[in-house]
């Protein structure tokens, strides 16, 4: 219970501060303690994290959401990590992948790298080294990242985690940027509250909570009241001229 309370406290703190190195990370690891500890660490930094405990879940999540980087344990139950990685790469998924492996699994590490992994880390490892490696992978991959998203006076640069409104830089927290980027990617369309919560936080949050309302209010205050429309009983939308 104390572990859960600590994670919640760190998570709420991260929502109130800016973090320049925000990443959206999928962690596929079958060890409950390691998986949850990594989730806590990353969320406390401001990263958006989703956790998978088996290979089938990892395969599905890897293909259905956009990730900056993936941490993949080779010893996953159900579908092993090498099989998951092979499936991803066979379907042209280019997301950087760091594999985790026990020290006596060198053959698996070589197989993982040949199957398309971008880096590996042997267990046990220091969390600081893991995060540094993930940041390096994301920087290295930025050359093939998405271009800027332009909607009227708004410009969002996903790789740089930066937004401009009417030519000026807008100071945003990690979660404000994640919300703005998601809305901008779907400009002209209504994005539901549930969709925003899932994309921004990647974990269970009460749909009746006002966290999304607060984020939208902050975005309007920092840019323009008309930037994001509220569509009653449906969600939110960044309007476009051709709507």
Question: pLDDT for 65-114, tens place per residue?
Answer: 889 999 999 989 999 999 999 999 888 888 999 999 875 566 777 787 88
Angle separating helix axes 81-90 and 106-114, nearest 10 degrees = 10
Confidence band of 146 (pLDDT split at 50, 70, 90)? low
- pLDDT for 203 equals 54
CATH architecture of 149-237: Orthogonal Bundle (1.10)
The domain limits of the chain are 16-143, 149-237
What is the Cα–Cα distance from 213 to 219, expressed in whole angstroms? 10
List, in order, residues 6 or more apart from 150 with CB less than 8 Å away: none
Q: Which of 57-61, 142-146, 183-187, 230-234 has the highest mean pLDDT?
A: 57-61
Angle separating helix axes 211-222 and 193-201, nearest 10 degrees = 90
CATH topology of domain 16-143: Rossmann fold (3.40.50)
Judge whether 70 and 97 are in contact, CB under 8 Å.
Answer: yes
* Residue 213 vs residue 141, higher pLDDT: 213
- pLDDT for 242 equals 54
């Amino acid at each position: 219970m104390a572990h859960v309370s600590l994670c919640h406290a760190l998570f709420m703190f991260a929502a109130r501060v800016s973090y320049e190195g925000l990443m959206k990370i999928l962690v596929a690891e079958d060890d409950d303690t390691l998986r949850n500890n990594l989730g806590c660490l990353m969320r406390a930094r401001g990263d958006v994290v989703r956790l998978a405990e088996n290979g089938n879940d990892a395969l599905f999540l890897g293909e259905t959401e956009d990730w900056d980087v993936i941490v993949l344990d080779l010893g996953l139950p159900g579908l092993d990590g090498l099989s998951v990685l092979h499936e991803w790469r066979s379907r042209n998924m280019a997301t950087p992948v760091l594999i985790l492996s026990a020290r006596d699994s060198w053959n698996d590490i070589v197989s993982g790298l040949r199957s398309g992994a971008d880096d590996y880390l042997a267990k046990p490892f220091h969390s600081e080294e893991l995060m540094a490696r993930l940041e390096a992978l994301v920087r290295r991959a930025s050359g093939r990242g998405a271009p800027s998203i332009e909607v009227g006076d708004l410009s969002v640069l996903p790789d740089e985690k930066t937004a401009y409104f009417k030519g000026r830089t807008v100071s945003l927290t990690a979660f404000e940027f994640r919300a703005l980027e998601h809305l901008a990617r779907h400009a002209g369309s209504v994005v539901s509250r549930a969709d925003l919560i899932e994309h921004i936080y990647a974990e269970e949050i009460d749909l009746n909570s006002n966290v999304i309302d607060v984020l939208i209010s902050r975005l309007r205050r920092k840019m323009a009241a008309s930037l994001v429309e509220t569509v009653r009983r449906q969600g939110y939308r960044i309007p476009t001229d051709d709507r």
